[in-house]
Chains A and B, each alone.
Chain A
Amino acid sequence: MSIFSTKKSWINLTIWVLIIALIIAAPSVLPVFRLNLLGRYLSLAIVALGVDLIWGFTGMLSLGQGIFFALGGYCAAMFLQLNSAGEFPNGIPEFFGLYGVEKLPFFWEPFKSSIFTLISIWLLPAIVACILGYLVFRNRIKGVYFSILTQAALLVFFNFFNGQQKLINGTNGLKTDVTQLFGQMVGSEIMQRWFFWVSAVLVILAWFFARWIVRDRFGNILIGIRDDEARVRFTGYNPVIFKTIIFSIAGGLAGISGALYTVQSGIVSPQFMTVPFSIEMVIWVAVGGRGTLLGAILGAVFINYAKSLVSEALPASWMFIQGGLFILVVTALPEGVLGWIRKDGLRKLLFLIGLNKKLETFPSLEVNEQGEVKS
Chain B
Amino acid sequence: MQLILESLFNGVAIGSVLLVAALGLAIVFGLMGVINLAHGELMMLGAYSTYITQLIFKQVSFLKPFYDSYVIVAIGVAFLVSGTVGILLERTVIRRLYGSPLETLLATWGVSLILQQFVRSVPLAYGSGMVIALFFGLFSPLFISDDILHGAKGKLIRASTWGFSALLGVATGGVLSSLVSKLSRASARNVDVTAPSWMRGGVDFVGVTFPKTRLLIILITLISVLVVIFFLDKTAWGLRIRAVTQNRPMSDCLGISTETVDIITFGIGSGLAGVAGVAVSLLGSVGPNVGGNYIVGCFMVVVLGGVGNLLGTILASFSIGIMTDLIGAGRLLTIWPEMPSPLFSTIDFFATTSMARVMIFALIVIFLQFRPTGMFPQKGRMVES
Residues of A within 8 A of B (CB): 55, 59, 61, 135-136, 138-141, 143-145, 147-149, 151-153, 155-156, 159-160, 162-163, 229-230, 275-276, 279, 282-283, 286, 316, 319-320, 322-327, 329-331, 334
A149-B303, A151-B296 given; A323·B114 CB < 8 A: yes
The reply to whether the CB of B358 lies closer than 8 angstroms to some CB of chain A is yes
B358 touches A160 (CB 8 A): yes
**Contact call B103/A330, Cβ cutoff below 8 A:** yes
A107, chain B: closest CB distance, angstroms: 15
Least CB separation from B37: chain A residue: A279
Say yes or no: A324 contacts B358, CB within 8 Å: no
Q: State in angstroms the CA–CA spacing of A322 and B296 once bound together.
A: 21
- Chain A hits for B303, CB < 8 A: 145, 148-149
B287-303: contact bitstring with A at CB < 8 Å (1 yes, 0 no)? 00000100010011011
Q: Which residue of A lies closest to B385 (CB)?
A: A140
The answer on a CB contact under 8 Å between B107 and A327 is yes
CA distance A138 to B361 in the complex (A): 18
Q: Which residue of A lies closest to B299 (CB)?
A: A148
Q: Which of B7-33 contact A (CB under 8 A)?
A: 29, 33
User: How far is it, in angstroms, between the C-alpha of A230 and the C-alpha of B113 when the chains are bound?
Assistant: 35
Bound Cα distance from A159 to B359, whole angstroms:
11
A328 nearest in chain B by CB position:
B110
Partner of B114, one of A141, A151, A319: A319
Q: How far is the CA of A147 from the CA of B116 in the complex (A)?
A: 22
Contacts of B296 in A (CB 8 A): 151-152, 155, 275
Q: Are B358 and A159 in contact (CB under 8 A)?
A: yes
Q: Residue B35 contacts which of A147, A229, A331 (CB distance < 8 angstroms)?
A: A147
Would A331 and B96 count as touching, CB distance under 8 A? yes
Contact A160 B101 (CB under 8 A): no
Residue of A nearest to B374 (CB): A145
B111 within 8 A of A: yes
B357: CB under 8 A from chain A?
Answer: yes
**Which residues in A have their C-beta under 8 angstroms from that of B364?**
152
A-contacting residues, B65-96, CB 8 Å: 93, 96
B residues in contact with A162, CB < 8 Å = 354
A55 CA / B103 CA spacing, docked (Å): 11
For residue B383, which residues in chain A have a CB less than 8 angstroms away from its CB? 230
Chain A residues, CB < 8 A from B35: 144, 147-148
- Residues of chain B within 8 A (CB-CB) of A334 are 103
Q: Which chain A residue lies CB-closest to B384?
A: A230
- Determine the distance from Cα of A325 to Cα of B355 in the docked complex, in whole angstroms: 35
| Chain B residues with CB below 8 A from A151, complex form | 296, 299
Chain B positions within 8 Å of A324 at CB level: 110, 114
Task: Return the chain B residue nearest A319 by Cβ.
Answer: B117
List, in ascending order, chain A residues with CB within 8 A of B369's CB.
135, 138-139
Q: How far is the CA of A275 from the CA of B297 in the complex (A)?
A: 13
- Is the pair A323, B102 in contact by a Cβ cutoff of 8 Å? no
Task: State the Cβ distance, A74 to closest chain B Cβ, in Å.
Answer: 17
Expressed in whole angstroms, the Cα–Cα distance for A331 and B91 within the complex equals 13
Q: Provided the pairs A135-B365, A279-B106, A324-B110 are in contact, do residues A316 and B299 lie with their beta carbons within 8 angstroms?
A: no
Which A residue's beta carbon lies closest to that of B120? A316
Chain B residues, CB < 8 A from A144: 29, 33, 35, 101-102, 105
